């Protein structure tokens, strides 16, 4: 089993930025990982532990949850002592679920939630993404490797709509589209303060339609920013009128919107 180095001794209840730490053990597996995350409760730091294969469920994060794979974390013991811990690497793979609506996916993000240092690969014939951020405030997607592979419909990594204060940084995002189409990230509806920076995108497959970013018709983004992104494919598809201040830089140019 992977170990967490530097964790305080048994009997102590450490916290990270005021959040209770929950470390998954061997009793958590691909069949119950979504339930385990939900049961961890609000305002917790959940440390995934190992490789979860065959994940065919949708995880709805709780308010204030931080989901960690490989990361460095400063924690404080009840005595007030601060220690640095290195969390284990973690990966998820499987078909995901749509929870009854929309694209199949692994995660629905929550207010004040984070996904950090996780390797996630979703494989499906239906339209699939890794995570949806809808109607949320203060969401962070950091230092992950996200892969979406679809055989019949659309492959993508993230969908953002009606959200604000969203930070997406330092991720590797892979799209393998062997169906209708593939895209990196989609924006829709009314948003504000979106930062998409220092991400590496790789978009490919046999699909006839491949795009980096999609701006849905009527989308509004007040303060869109992004620098340091790279992609083997640099396109911005605009499906209708939009109201956006700012732009996402990719491969050294202000790409989306141009």
pLDDT by 10-residue block (mean), the chain, 258 residues: 38 63 89 95 94 96 96 79 85 95 97 98 99 99 99 99 99 99 98 99 98 98 99 97 98 97
Q: 185 vs 73, 105, 116, 129, CA distance in Å?
A: 28, 14, 18, 9
pLDDT at 80: 77
Within a domain: residue 166? yes
Within a domain: residue 9? no
Within a domain: residue 6? no
pLDDT at 86: 86
Within a domain: residue 10? no
pLDDT at 123: 99
Within a domain: residue 93? yes
pLDDT at 14: 57
Structural domain of residue 51, as residue ranges? Answer: 15-256
Within a domain: residue 69? yes
pLDDT at 15: 62
Total number of domains constituting the chain: 1
* Inter-residue long-range contacts of 1-7, CB under 8 Å, 24+ positions, other chains counted: 1/25, 1/26, 1/49, 1/50, 2/49, 2/50, 2/88, 2/89, 2/90, 3/88, 4/47, 4/85, 4/86, 4/87, 4/88, 5/85, 5/86, 6/83, 6/84, 6/85, 6/86, 7/75, 7/83, 7/85
Dist CA 90 CA 96 (whole Å): 16
Within a domain: residue 101? yes
Dist CA 80 CA 90 (whole Å): 29
Within a domain: residue 3? no
Please calculate the CA angle 141-97-156 and round it to the nearest 5 degrees.
50
Q: CB neighbours of 106 closer than 8 A, spacing ≥ 6?
A: 55, 58, 59, 92, 94, 96, 120, 122, 130, 131
Q: CB neighbours of 16 closer than 8 A, spacing ≥ 6?
A: 45, 66, 73, 74, 75, 76
């Amino acid at each position: 089993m992977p170990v967490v180095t530097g964790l305080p001794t048994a009997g102590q209840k450490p916290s990270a930025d005021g959040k209770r730490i929950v470390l998954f053990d061997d009793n958590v597996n691909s069949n119950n990982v979504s339930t385990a995350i939900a049961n961890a409760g609000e305002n917790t730091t959940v440390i995934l532990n190992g490789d979860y294969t065959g994940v065919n469920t949708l995880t709805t994060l709780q308010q204030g949850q931080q989901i960690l794979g490989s990361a460095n974390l400063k924690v404080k013991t009840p005595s007030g002592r601060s220690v640095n811990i290195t969390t284990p690497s973690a990966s998820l793979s499987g078909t995901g679920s749509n929870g009854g609506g929309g694209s199949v996916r692994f995660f629905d993000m929550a207010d004040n939630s984070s996904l950090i240092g996780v390797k996630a690969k979703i494989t499906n014939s239906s339209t699939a993404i890794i995570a949806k951020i809808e109607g949320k405030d203060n969401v962070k997607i950091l230092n992950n490797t996200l892969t979406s592979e679809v055989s019949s419909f659309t492959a993508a990594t993230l969908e953002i709509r009606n959200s604000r204060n969203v930070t997406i940084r330092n991720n590797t995002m892979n799209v393998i589209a062997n169906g209708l189409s593939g895209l990196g990230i989609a924006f829709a509806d009314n948003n504000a303060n979106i930062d998409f920076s220092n991400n590496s995108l790789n978009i490919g497959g046999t699909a006839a339609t491949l795009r980096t970013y999609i701006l849905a018709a009527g989308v509004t983004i007040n303060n869109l920013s992004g620098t340091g992104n790279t992609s083997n494919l640099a396109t911005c598809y605009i499906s209708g009128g939009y109201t956006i201040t700012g732009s996402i830089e990719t491969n050294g140019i202000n790409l989306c919107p141009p």
